[in-house]
């Protein structure tokens, strides 16, 4: 069995140690984060102080440039304490990978400070080519971490002055990732949800906003890549997928550990023995442990193997992209099943806000409802494995 990939070098151990050191503070704030629907200033300051927003930022800009497996381990550790914080962190770090495609001075302006955080979300919009840059009009939703972000961005199709969409020679639309200060946007409070409440994933919009060419990137386009590190041979899509799987696994591990502690002492109403003496509970705990460890082992080992191959080859293959998506989706759903089993077995204890189950139950179900947890990812990978043309490659 290989070593835990989270502990394979001193740099990774340092950030993982920082996460473990910060976890008690974060756990103590988790209920307040949920109620406030955002990360409070002391938590954001703590994340910035430990350089957590810079985990995937290039070293040339003062970032850690962690490789995928050690990075996911940090996200997982943060998620054990609070899932909303881990979600915001993974979103912001994934966005920061855009720095590898940006004009150097623009990248320094956006990310040159420990509190420089970028957020974005999906939504319709367009960018019109104008001298020196683009005119952007759009409305976007679900910008996780937007409350603590300093810059926002979006991926928009580009149109010419005659309002015609631009295309590459192969017919693909020309897409640019445009970035702008958050102060230039109109924010709308829409994030009234059951779980991951603290992410503050609100809606934002701009109208006819001029974005200079230097602040527009051809994200994930190898021809535009300015960094040579192995990390940037991966696209942000692979880091989002595996990072959000890390969020799910962190939630599941914390829930399972809490249930084991509960089962030692809780005697259910009208029962003669503790939960841990119940044969059904024993089976559920064992199966949940197996689900979580199998998913975790598979994801981390895969990330390590792919990273090694990419370091030699210089790029990811379609098969590797498929495998990362499959392992990430699998980890999310195995985590969901583990949490559901613990929640059910905990009985009425699980429904109280003061207990360690109710918020995590809401959070893991919100994780599974997001793009990264879509069951349709299994269909895409299954089509590929069966030798068919996958219907959707957009999220690989």
The encoded tokens of residue 312 equal 């030699």
Residues in the chain: 396
CB burial class (10 A; 0-12, 13-18, 19+) of residue 315?
A: exposed
pLDDT > 80? residue 133: yes
**Angle between helices 376-385 and 318-345 in degrees, nearest 10:** 140
Torsion sign across C-alpha atoms 133, 138, 142, 147: positive
| pLDDT per residue as tens digits for the range 197-242 | 999 999 999 999 999 999 999 887 888 899 999 999 999 999 999 9
The encoded tokens of residue 198 equal 């603290």
Residues 136/175, Cβ–Cβ less than 8 Å: no
d(CA 71, CA 64): 10
pTM metric for this prediction: 0.94
**Angle between helices 279-313 and 318-345 in degrees, nearest 10:** 160
Per DSSP, the three-state class of 65 is coil
| pLDDT per residue as tens digits for the range 92-107 | 999 999 999 999 999 9
Residues 151/179, Cβ–Cβ less than 8 Å: yes
E strand or H helix that includes residue 141 = strand 133-143
Q: How many helices (H) and strands (E) does the chain have?
A: 10, 8
Output the pLDDT for position 124: 81
Q: Which residues contact 175 (CB under 8 A, 6 or more apart)?
A: 155, 156, 157, 158, 218, 219
| pLDDT per residue as tens digits for the range 244-267 | 999 999 999 999 999 999 999 998
Residue 7: pLDDT band (50, 70, 90) is very low
């Amino acid at each position: 069995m290989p070593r835990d990939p989270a502990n394979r070098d001193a740099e990774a151990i340092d950030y993982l140690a920082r996460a473990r050191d910060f976890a008690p503070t974060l756990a103590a704030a988790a209920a307040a984060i949920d109620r406030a629907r955002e990360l409070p200033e002391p938590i954001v300051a703590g994340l910035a102080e430990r350089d957590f927003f810079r985990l995937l930022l290039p070293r040339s800009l003062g970032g850690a440039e962690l490789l995928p497996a050690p990075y996911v381990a940090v996200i997982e550790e943060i998620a054990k304490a609070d899932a909303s914080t881990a979600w915001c962190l993974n979103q912001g770090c994934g966005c920061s990978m855009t720095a590898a495609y940006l004009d150097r001075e623009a990248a320094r302006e956006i990310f040159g400070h420990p509190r420089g955080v970028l957020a974005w979300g999906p939504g319709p919009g367009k960018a019109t080519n104008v001298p020196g840059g683009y005119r952007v009009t759009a409305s976007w939703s679900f910008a996780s971490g937007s409350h603590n972000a300093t810059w926002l961005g979006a991926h928009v199709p580009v149109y010419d002055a005659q309002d015609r969409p631009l295309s590459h020679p192969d017919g693909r639309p020309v897409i640019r990732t445009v970035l702008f200060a958050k102060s230039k946007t109109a924010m709308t409070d829409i994030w009234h949800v059951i779980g991951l409440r603290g992410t503050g994933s609100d809606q934002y919009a701009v109208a006819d906003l001029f974005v200079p060419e230097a602040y527009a990137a051809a994200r994930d386009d190898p021809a535009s890549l300015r960094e040579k590190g192995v990390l940037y041979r991966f696209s942000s899509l692979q880091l989002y997928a595996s990072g959000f799987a890390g969020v799910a696994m962190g939630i599941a591990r914390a829930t399972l550990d809490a249930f084991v502690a509960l089962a030692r002492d809780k005697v259910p109403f009208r029962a003669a023995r503790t939960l841990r003496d119940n044969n059904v509970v024993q089976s559920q705990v064992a199966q949940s442990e197996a689900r979580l460890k199998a998913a975790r082992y598979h994801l981390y080992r895969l990330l390590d193997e792919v990273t090694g191959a990419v370091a030699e080859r210089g790029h990811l293959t379609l098969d590797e992209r498929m495998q990362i998506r499959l392992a990430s989706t699998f980890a999310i759903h195995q985590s969901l099943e583990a949490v559901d089993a613990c929640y059910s077995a905990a009985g009425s204890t699980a429904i109280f806000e003061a207990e360690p189950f109710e918020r995590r139950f809401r959070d893991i179900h919100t994780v599974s409802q997001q793009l990264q947890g879509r069951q349709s990812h299994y269909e895409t990978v299954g089509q590929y494995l069966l030798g068919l043309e996958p219907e959707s490659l957009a999220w690989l």
